[in-house]
Structure 1
Amino acid sequence: MTERAEGQEEGAVLPPPPEAALKAFGDSLPDVVRYAELLADAGVRRGLIGPREVPRLWERHLLNCVVLSEVVPEGVTVCDVGSGAGLPGIPLALVRPDLKITLLEPLLRRTTFLQEVVELLGLDHVTVVRGRAEEVLGTLPPVHVVTARAVAPLDRLAGWGVPLLRPYGEMLALKGDTAEEELRGARDALHKLGVVETAVEHVGEGVVDPLSTVVRARVGESPGGVRFAAKRAKAAKAARSGSRAPRGGRRRR
C-alpha cells in the first residue's frame, strides 16, 4: 500500500473504474487504470491535480475527456494545447492509436510527468513538447486538430490554438455550461483568426452524465488570420536553418 500523498485529504482514494470506463476505453482500460493511479499519486504530489479530484477522476476527468474521440477524425495529427497532466491528450491517445498527438505544455514539471507517462505506457504515437503555443508557431508542423481543456477563455485560447492548425483544420475545446455564451462573446475574435464555422456539440452518450460539451471552430484557408502568416513563415525558415527549435520535446522510439 502506498503512503498517502502529502496534503492529500482523508478519503481521497481512487475508486475502481466504473462500468462506463470499459465501454469507453475497451482493451486499453488496464493502461488507463495505470494512468489514473499515476494521477492520483504522483499527479497529486507534484501539484498537477488537486487531492479533491482523486475520487472523481473517472467521471469528471478521464471519461469526460475520452469522449472527445467521437469528434476527432481518423488518422489525423493533433496538438493538445496546455496539456497539463495530459487531459485530454493522454485519454485520447490511449483509445486512438491512429492519431499522431503532440502534448504541448510550457511547465517543466508537467512535461516531465507527461514524458514519464508516455514512456511507461509505450505511447509511441505521442510526442511531448515543452513550450507555449506562440513559441512553437512555425516550428511544429501545422496539425489537423487542436484540442484543449480548462486552459483559458475561448477568445484567448483561440489566439493560441488556431494558428497551429493547417488549412481547414479544427479546434476542439472541452467547455462547461457557459460554452454557448463563451462562443457568442468570442465570435469576432474567432473570425479575425480565420475561423469560418463554429458549433457547440454534446458528446459521450451512454458514457458520461451530463454529456461533455465541445466547442468546435473550423478554419478556412488561412488559420490564424493574415497577421500570423508572416510570423509562421519566419519561424519555419528559422527552424529549417537550425536557429530555433521547440524546448524539451522528443519522440519516444
Structure 2
Amino acid sequence: MEQSTEERLIREILLDPRLNLDQSKIPDSAVPHLLAYTRLWHKWNAKISLTAEKAPDLFIRNHLFVSLQFLQGVENAQGLVDIGSGAGLPGIPLKILRPDLPTLLVECRRKRASFLMTVVRELGLKNVQVADTKVEAITSPGIPIDTAVFRAVADTPTCLEWARGIMPQGGRVVLLRTPKEAERPDLSDSAIKCIDKFSLEDFESHPLVLLVFHI
C-alpha cells in the first residue's frame, strides 16, 4: 500500500539526525501511532483550534519534530508530567516513543482535555492519565513522577514553581526555550540548578535550547 504524505514525513523526521534517535529503540508502533495522532489532531483542530497550523505537514514539522527533541532531556525519566499539555505536545509524542513511561497530561481547558482523552483511548496508550484541571489543584498525581516537561506555557520561574508543587524534591524539569530566553533563566531560588543544556533547532533550522533543571 502506498504511503500517505503524512506517513512519509513522519518516517522522515524519525530518521532526521538532529533528533539523534537510536533507531533500534523506536517501537514498531511509533509510525502508526504518530500518524493516527496527526489525523485526530487534524479532525479536532477544525473544531476547537488546537494549534495555529491547519495543515498536517506543518503540524508534523512544527510540532511533532520539536516535541521529539525533548527525548534528549527525558532519557532517564521514570514518570512524566506534561503541564499545560494543550494538544498533547510534547507529552503524546514522548509517550509514543517511550511506551513504558507513565505519563500525566495536565490541561485545564476542557475541550483540549477531551481531545487528549480521545487520543489516549483511540491509540490504546497504556498508563496515561489526563487531568482536566489546573496543576495547582493536583495534590496527588496518581502515578510516580520524576520529570516535568513544558513547551510553550509560561516563563521559567512559573514553570519551575508549578513543577515543584507536583513533584518530589530531586525531580527534573525540562523546558524548551529560545537562545535569548535561555541566557537568563531568572532563578530566584538558589536551590534550583540548571544541570544540562542542549542546543537544538526546529525543522526549519531555527535555534532552540532545551534546559534541564534539578529542583
Q: Map Cα deviations across residues 17-40 of structure 1 (whole Å, 9 max, x no partner).
A: 255334356631111011111212
Aligned residue number for residue 18 of structure 2: none
* Superposition deviation, residue 122 in structure 1: 0.6
Aligned residue number for residue 177 of structure 1: 179
1:17 corresponds to which letter in structure 2? L
Q: Map Cα deviations across residues 32-84 of structure 1 (whole Å, 9 max, x no partner).
A: 01111121221232121124564421221101101211221346011100000
User: Is 1:17 aligned to 2:9, yes or no?
Assistant: yes
Instruction: Work out the CA distance in 2 between the residues paired with 1:124 and 1:204.
Output: 30
Aligned residue number for residue 187 of structure 1: 187
User: Is 1:46 aligned to 2:48, yes or no?
Assistant: yes
Instruction: Work out the CA distance in 1 between the residues paired with 2:100 and 2:55.
Output: 30
* Superposition deviation, residue 95 in structure 1: 0.4
Aligned residue number for residue 96 of structure 1: 98
Quickly say closer, same or farther: Cα 1:107–1:153, change in 2 above 3 A: same
Identical residues among aligned pairs (%): 23
User: Is 1:126 aligned to 2:118, yes or no?
Assistant: no
What is the RMSD computed on CA atoms of the aligned residues? 2.6
Aligned residue number for residue 107 of structure 2: 105
Instruction: Work out the CA distance in 2 between the residues paired with 1:73 and 1:55.
Output: 27
Alignment gaps of 5+ in structure 1: 1-12, 220-253
Aligned residue number for residue 139 of structure 1: 140
2:140 corresponds to which letter in structure 1? T
**Aligned counterpart for 2:210 among listed residues 209, 214, 217:** 214
User: Is the deviation greater in 17-26 or in 120-129?
Assistant: 17-26
- The aligned length equals 200
Structure 1-normalised TM-score?
Answer: 0.70
Partner SS, residue 128 of structure 1: strand
Higher gyration radius (CA)? 1
